Every structure is written in C-alpha cells, then in structure tokens.
C-alpha cells in the first residue's frame, strides 16, 4: 500500500499544470520582477533555495519513506487572489518578534510560493515535521526569535543535502569558513554542515552574534545571506540608515529578495490552507539515539550485521561523507533507530570485524620495496664505471673550476705550454694571474 501511495506522489504532483503561465520557466524560477514608484522595472534574484527541484526533494530518504500525498485533502488546485488588505492583516496577526511588513516585493514572493512553488510548499509542510523540532530547540537555546526557523525554507527548501552554486551546504547553507568558525567540522571524511542538529545550533549562535552587531532582525537576516560586511557597506552608502528597506537599493540583488522571501515563507507556512495547498502527510520516523564509536567503522558493517539499509544509515548520519566514521581520530557519534542501539552494543565485536580488510582500506604501515629493477642496475653500473674512469683520468689532468691543471715540467716555458695545449701565452697569464714569464717546475698551471 505504501509503495502505491509513493508512486502516486510523483504522478499527482507532476501531472498538475502550473498555476501561473510561464514564457520561460527556467528564467522565471530565478528572477522576480518588481516595479518601483516611478514605474521602473527591475529584476532581482530569488534565493537559491526557491529554485529547488521538487523531484530531487521527493527522492530524499525521509521523503520516500515517511511522506505521502494526503489523498483525503479535497482542496481545489486553485490559488485564490486576495485584496492587499487581507495580506497585510494576516502578516500583522503572525505571532512574531520580527516585523513582517507588507509591500509589493513581499507580495511577489507570496505569489511565488502560492503559485508555481505550491508543490514545493506541500513538500516543505510535510518535511517540517522532521526538522522544525531541531530548529526550535537550537533557536530557543540562543534566545533568538523562533520565526527564524523558516530561514532554511528559503535557504535549502528543507533539503539537508543541499549544496549551492558557491558551495554553501546543508539545511542552513553554511560556507566552510563560517561553519568552522561556529564549531562545525569539515574535512574529507566529515561535513557537519549536513548535520541537522549541529548545524541548527551553529546557525542560532551565528544569528545571535549578528544581532549583537546590528540590533535589528531584518538586517540580521540580510547579513545571514550576504555577510555583515555587505550590509555595513549598504548602510554607509545610504548615509547611515540602519533600516533594511532604506538600504535595499544598495544590497546585492539576491539579498534584496531575501528578507521579502523570508516574510513570504512565514506567511505561506502559516496560511497555506487559505491558498488551497495540501501538506504532504508525515509518518514520523522511529525515535533515534546515538552511540559513541571509538574506532573506524564503515556503514556497511552496521548495515549487514544489524539488517538496516545503507540508505537509512546515511539519512540518519548525513555528515559522514565517505560512509565511514573515523572513530580512530576521536570518539564520534553514530545515530541509529533507538531499537537498534542495544543490538549494536550486543554485537559490537561482530560489527567491527565484518569485512574490515575489505571496507577499511587505509593501511597503518607499509614496507618499501627495496629490490633494484634491472634497468636501474644497468644505470648504476654505468655510473660506477664513469666515476672510476674519471678518477683515473683525474690523476693525469685534474679538473678544477675554470679549467684543468697540468704540472709544469723542468725547462718549460709559457710559450711551450701554450703550444702543447693549444692555447696562447696571453690566456695562460690571465687565467693564472702571471704578470711576467717566470714559472717554476713541479708547480701546477691552469689551462682551458
């Protein structure tokens, strides 16, 4: 029955035509066109999370396993249009610390979510049951407004494996430098930006620090997107006005749409029923728990001994990049369904010994092959011969820097030595710093 329902997800969500007609769907999905008071039109970039492909979201493990279309939902697939005052009143009623003002830009983003992104909203409403408890727990710990739990809606569309065009990763879309600054480990084996709980605490900490700088939550949200330096530059260019809507023209294009998108996300996640959007039904996964691992462990070792799929282990432990927990480096956590924790403890030896030599290939020590290949033996013999030959030759004509040395015989003159060695007296004098013709038998003289 579950498989049949899962197959229906793609059919139902994929078969319905978009609410809004599109001339160029790809471009439309990346831009919002806004009109200023003087009638000038401008395109602003939408946050990357709003470009997410619904098909890829539906192929995530949690989506395939625990989400399904609500077949009992009888909403007509029609997006109703309301008067401006209705949107203003609804935004005003949201129980938030952060102000949620209305304007034409915010309206554009509400239309986006309630229009051609309504299928993604259906997914996110269902997936929020997995992730919102993590978000709320972390935000509460740092005493920041709980409505910030909707930031990952616009950052990643609630995809823990999301990677942006510039490398920002995870639900909260951390860049490597910012993630490491807030305690998230990133190396070839692990990327804690993908860990929903740890990344949520890091994000809450970062948002708290940004508020200490700007003392305004809209500026904090903008800075989360484009960095505090860009927000400070925009404040300077607007003659020091610390208000998001005043510095709006001086911000990067995507950041101009970021706060409006955040307001729209808060709106749609609360008023989806008024726009005839049916949340996907969530069957909550079994409770999970962690166990500390003190040596290297491959996911396949756990999978085969405990009879749990690799895909399930990966979904519970998305921070491990190579399916390996590098417990030899330091104690690391493995998350499993709570029902399997006892089995792991009871079967620990079997798990760690399962195909260790095949699955954990990094060697602790290696021996160097000291056999000399045949071609190298030939070269070595030749070098030894050449060295020996040069040594014997040097007894006769020892080479030195600037030429070779020869012994002066009894009765030799400079002209005789020059003639014998094919040079001139002038060159011999210059090379040996001789001013006259006096030379002594038995001494050495340099010749080129």
Catalytic residue numbers read: 155
Residue 405 CB contacts under 8 Å (≥ 6 apart), including other chains: 397, 398, 399, 444, 445, 446, 447
- Measured distance CA(312)–CA(322) in Å, rounded: 15
Element (H, E) at 131: helix 118-141
Listed in sequence order, the DSSP H helices in 397-424 are 414-420
- Report the candidate in 152, 133, 182 with the shortest Cα–Cα distance to residue 282: 133
Hey, which residues does 403 pair with through a beta bridge? 400
41-45 and 31-35 strand pairing: antiparallel
Instruction: Check residue 137 and give left, alpha or beta (phi > 0: left; psi -120 to 50: alpha).
Output: alpha
Place of tokens 């959007």: 277
Taking the CA atoms of residue 156, residue 134, residue 267 and residue 27 in that order, the dihedral angle to the nearest 10 degrees is: 0
| Beta-strand runs (E) in 295-429 | 296-298, 324-326, 332-337, 398-400, 403-407
- Measured distance CA(305)–CA(347) in Å, rounded: 8
Place of tokens 């727990």: 137
| 32 three-class SS | strand
């Amino acid at each position: 029955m579950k498989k049949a329902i899962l197959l229906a997800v793609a059919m139902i969500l994929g078969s319905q035509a978009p609410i809004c007609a599109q001339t160029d769907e790809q471009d439309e999905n990346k831009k919002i066109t806004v009109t200023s008071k003087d009638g000038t039109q401008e395109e602003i970039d939408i946050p990357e999370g709003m470009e997410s492909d619904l098909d890829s979201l539906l192929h995530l493990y949690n989506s395939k396993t625990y989400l399904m279309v609500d077949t009992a939902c009888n909403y007509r697939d029609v997006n109703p249009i309301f008067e401006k005052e209705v949107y203003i009143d609804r935004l005003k009623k949201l129980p938030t610390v952060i102000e949620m003002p209305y304007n034409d830009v915010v309206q554009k983003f509400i239309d986006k979510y309630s229009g051609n992104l309504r299928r993604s909203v259906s997914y996110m409403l269902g997936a929020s049951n997995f992730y919102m408890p993590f978000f709320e727990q972390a935000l509460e710990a740092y005493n920041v407004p709980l409505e910030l739990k909707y930031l990952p809606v616009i950052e990643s569309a609630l995809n823990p494996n999301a990677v942006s065009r510039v490398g920002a990763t995870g639900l909260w879309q951390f860049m490597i430098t910012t993630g490491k600054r807030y305690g998230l480990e990133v190396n070839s084996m692990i990327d804690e930006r993908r860990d929903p709980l740890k990344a949520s605490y890091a994000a809450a900490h970062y948002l708290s620090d940004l508020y200490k700088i700007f003392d305004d939550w809209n500026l904090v949200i903008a800075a989360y997107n484009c960095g505090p330096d860009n927000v400070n530059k925009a404040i300077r260019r607007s003659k020091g006005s610390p208000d998001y809507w005043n510095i709006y023209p001086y911000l990067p294009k995507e950041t101009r749409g970021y706060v409006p998108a955040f307001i729209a996300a808060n709106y749609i996640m609360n008023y989806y029923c008024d726009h005839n959007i049916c949340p996907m039904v969530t069957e909550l996964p079994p409770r999970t728990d962690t166990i500390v691992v003190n040596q290297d462990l491959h996911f396949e070792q756990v999978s085969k001994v405990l009879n749990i799929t690799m895909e399930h282990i990966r979904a519970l432990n998305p921070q491990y990049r190579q399916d390996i927990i590098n417990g030899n480096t330091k104690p690391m956590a493995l998350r499993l369904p709570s029902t399997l924790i006892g089995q792991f403890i009871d079967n620990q030896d079997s798990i760690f010994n399962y195909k260790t030599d095949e699955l954990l290939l990094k060697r602790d020590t290696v021996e160097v092959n000291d056999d000399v290949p045949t071609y190298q033996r030939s070269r070595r013999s030749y070098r030894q011969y050449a060295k020996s030959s040069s040594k014997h030759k040097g007894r006769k004509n020892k080479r030195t820097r600037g030429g070779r040395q020869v012994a002066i015989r009894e009765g030799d003159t400079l002209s005789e030595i020059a003639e014998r060695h094919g040079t001139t007296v002038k060159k011999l004098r210059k090379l040996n710093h001789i001013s006259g013709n006096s030379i002594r038998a038995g001494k050495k003289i340099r010749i080129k």
